[in-house]
Amino acid sequence: MLVRKLFSVPFTTMFEESCVICGDQVKSSRLGCPACLSCMIFFRRSVIKEANYRCAKQMACPVYYEFRSSCRHCRYQKCFQAGMRSDLVVTRDTVGPRSPPPAILEVPEVLMEQLVALQTRQLEDHEEVPEPRGATVTDVNLMFKWSFKDSVEWASQFEPFLRLSNEEQKCVISEFGVGFLVVDQGFRSARDWRKGTWTLQNGSFLEASENLELVEQDFIIYLENSIKRQFQIMQIDEFEIAVLKTLMLFSNSFPKQNIFSEYQEKIDKLRNKCLTELMTYLSSKYPTSHDTRFGKLLLFIGDIRSAVKAVYNQTKVSALFDISKFDKFPLFILSKRAARLVQYHLNKQKVFLTFIDNKQIRLHMDEELEDAVYLFIRSFEELGEEFTYKKLPTYNIYYQIESLKVFLILGGQKELQDTSEYFLNVLNNPIICLKSGCYGRNAKEMVNFLKSWKDVTSIEIIGEVEIPLKYIMNNCRGVKNLIVEGHTEQPFDYRNHSQMPFSWETAFLSLPTGLTFDTIKMFMNCKRLRLEGRSYSQEEVRRILDAWVDGSPLKHLDIEIHNASINLLGMDEVEKVHNVKVKAFFEFRPLWFFHTAYLIEQKTSGTKAVLIIERKYVLLSTEYQVGVENEYQ
């Protein structure tokens, strides 16, 4: 039985569209905007509880991934501003109880007999080499293909595996397939009592000779001592290795945890059935020592799992296991395992991400993950994608994935002067990212090197980085994109600067204190501007629009305004701006009356602006969603 569409979907990156609220990975858009699972749950609970949160600061708290739980008020408001709708929150009582899960077949009366027969057929299908010889890269590649193919067929004998999604099935096979390889090769190697050898399924062998690299010799000796010797000492037979394979599938340690949780009851029954048949078999064959042997076989699974990791690591260092020479099938599976390993550490918060859009991501990882990401990148190269990658001598590593091109962009605490030489030779359109806590006092020193980095096109400043922005403005005249989030050393106001305005293509400015109008004028040549941190007054917004009307390249504007009037944005002010999004708030007491206005472009016979008004009434602690009014042209 084959798995449904198991490998029919082409390999894609694990990085998808980011949550518009906090930047985490998107789960769904069913509440009105692309959002992660955490923000969706938070919004749903807040709506159901009719929550009335309060901000302890100035209602300008950061809501990105690392700090999304620090202020519930600001997070809740950002949910509404991003487009979430309370009327889309549906409770379970309204829609009725969940549908019962589909019926699962009962555990077969005899489980292992058919699996042993399947194993015998699979081993017979493996073609032997005419005479024993040293293994080549082609042999290793072929062994991976056999193991993954056989493991798919084996896992497909069990209904819980067939009920998994394609992505979950690939995750299972990424580890179970390598475990299949270790068990089959260990069983075959046990026939050869020569010291320092490891035999593959086709009869070719690896030998720890002086001709091999030291890392390959150590790998062969490790497999011999931990796997081959146990097969020889215990004389493990076909029935027992079939049990080992089955238990590895049921007692998983896959990169994605609890992958069979939805079918745990069935999995437990299958595992117990497998163990019961093993005990019955051992009691008949080893009546005096069956209990001891039973325990040793179960403990041996831990050694096999360790060997799986050793094989996986060998693909990064050994010429024989060089995945760049593999066919796409085993390469695909190994890449998927690397991606799942990275995702697992993401979930454990050992890796931190900043999402830019659905094609760009910044990833900061611990050293222990560098090898996994390196394999991930190499796999992409062999699948035909274009990558630029070079490991720098730094402690903390940032990767920029942009249109399937990888750029190493910033390192950690080592001497900046040493790493700057690498940047000059490696980077292609680098993004410089200054982050709070990453540089400290060295930030100013680093900016002095910016004069040498002529190709820098984007700069990000996140958190309380001790660096005056005027240093960047003076030294990075070629920069086109600027992102500023959080506090800076001094107010962002350089009205007396001799060379302004600056030719930023995009500017994202999120500062608690906002910006003065004179500072904003420095960005009047932007094509895209986003202002966050506080609401601007009607007069400030009018002055900003007036400054851009004549001869401005501005195409996108995103700004918050306070106490505005509906006729604030007329056609005369914005007809040259292609895409303006304005969040306008209106307050009247004792009844608070809020409008959120979005101005968007529509092209018919000519350029027309459409103003959509969404009304919300807030009375005491209860919020009422009135709905969306008609469009105003």
How do residues 60-77 score in pLDDT, each as one tens digit? 787 876 667 778 888 898
436 pLDDT above the threshold of 50: no
Model confidence band, residue 308 (pLDDT cutoffs 50, 70, 90): confident
- Of 394, 384, 403, the closest CA to residue 335 belongs to 384
215 pLDDT above the threshold of 90: no
- Of 383, 245, 250, the closest CA to residue 324 belongs to 383
pLDDT in the model for residue 253:
59
The model's pLDDT over 79-103, given as tens digits with 9 standing for 90+, comes to: 888 889 888 887 655 445 555 444 4
Same-domain check for residues 76 and 123: no
Mean pLDDT of 432-448: 47
Amino acid present at 238: E
Same-domain check for residues 148 and 176: yes
Burial of 18 (C-beta count, 10 Å sphere; 0-12/13-18/19+): buried
**Domain end among 48, 76, 100:** 100
Same-domain check for residues 37 and 59: yes
pLDDT in the model for residue 245:
92
Mean pLDDT of 226-254: 86
Same-domain check for residues 44 and 90: yes
Task: Return the residue matching tokens 């390469």.
Answer: 331
242 pLDDT above the threshold of 90: yes
- Of 225, 218, 184, 220, the closest CA to residue 203 belongs to 184
| C-alpha pair distances (Å), 618 with each of 344, 560, 622 | 42, 20, 6
* Average pLDDT across the chain, whole number: 63
Same-domain check for residues 118 and 95: no
* 237 located within any domain: yes
Same-domain check for residues 96 and 118: no
CA angle (101, 102, 103) in 5-degree steps: 115
Same-domain check for residues 252 and 134: yes
Mean pLDDT of 270-282: 90
Choose between 457 and 147: higher pLDDT: 147
Q: What span, in angstroms and rounded, lies between the C-alpha atoms of 358 and 351?
A: 18
pLDDT in the model for residue 146:
85
The string of DSSP letters for 456-493 reads: --EEEEESS-S--HHHHHHH-TT--EEEEES--SS-S-
pLDDT in the model for residue 452:
52
The string of DSSP letters for 536-595 reads: EEHHHHHHHHHHHHTT----EEEEEEES--GGGS-HHHHTT-SEEEEEEE---SSSEEEE
The CATH number assigned to the domain holding 4 equals: 3.30.50.10
pLDDT in the model for residue 401:
30
Worst-scoring range by mean pLDDT, 285-294, 525-534, 595-604?
A: 595-604
32 pLDDT above the threshold of 80: yes
Same-domain check for residues 278 and 384: no
Same-domain check for residues 96 and 129: no
* 523 located within any domain: no
Contact 428, 412 (CB under 8 A): no
pLDDT in the model for residue 282:
92
* 135 located within any domain: yes
* 161 located within any domain: yes
Same-domain check for residues 95 and 124: no
Mean pLDDT of 532-539: 63
Choose between 491 and 457: higher pLDDT: 457
- Return the structure tokens found at 370: 């560098």
Contact 631, 589 (CB under 8 A): no
CA angle (427, 428, 430) in 5-degree steps: 70
pLDDT in the model for residue 410:
34
494 pLDDT above the threshold of 60: no
Worst-scoring range by mean pLDDT, 218-227, 511-520, 569-578?
A: 569-578
Angle formed by the axes of helices 328-347 and 166-189, nearest 10° = 110
Mean pLDDT of 293-303: 88
Mean pLDDT of 108-112: 83
pLDDT in the model for residue 267:
85
Mean pLDDT of 134-156: 85
**Domain end among 376, 400, 428:** 428
The CATH number assigned to the domain holding 302 equals: 1.10.565.10
pLDDT in the model for residue 495:
44
Same-domain check for residues 131 and 257: yes
Model confidence band, residue 182 (pLDDT cutoffs 50, 70, 90): very high
DSSP 226: I
Secondary structure of residue 238 in the 3-state scheme: helix
Mean pLDDT of 495-507: 52
Mean pLDDT of 558-585: 45
273 pLDDT above the threshold of 50: yes
Choose between 407 and 556: higher pLDDT: 556
Same-domain check for residues 209 and 316: yes
Worst-scoring range by mean pLDDT, 31-40, 321-330, 362-371?
A: 362-371
- Return the structure tokens found at 189: 């190697």
Q: What span, in angstroms and rounded, lies between the C-alpha atoms of 202 and 266?
A: 36
512 pLDDT above the threshold of 50: yes
Mean pLDDT of 279-285: 92
497 pLDDT above the threshold of 80: no
* 354 located within any domain: yes
**Range of the structural domain that residue 286 is part of:** 112-331
Worst-scoring range by mean pLDDT, 10-19, 61-70, 597-606?
A: 597-606
pLDDT in the model for residue 590:
28
14 pLDDT above the threshold of 70: no
* 456 located within any domain: no
CA angle (137, 141, 147) in 5-degree steps: 145
Contact 177, 11 (CB under 8 A): no
pLDDT in the model for residue 138:
81
- Of 504, 633, 488, 491, the closest CA to residue 574 belongs to 633
Contact 39, 31 (CB under 8 A): no
The number of distinct structural domains making up the chain is 4
* 119 located within any domain: yes
Residues 6+ apart with CB under 8 A from 255: 171, 174, 175, 337, 340, 341, 343, 344
261 pLDDT above the threshold of 50: yes
Model confidence band, residue 478 (pLDDT cutoffs 50, 70, 90): low
* 448 located within any domain: no
DSSP β-bridge partners for residue 561: 536, 584
pLDDT in the model for residue 499:
42
Most confident stretch, 154-158, 309-313, 406-410:
154-158
**Domain end among 389, 404, 428:** 428
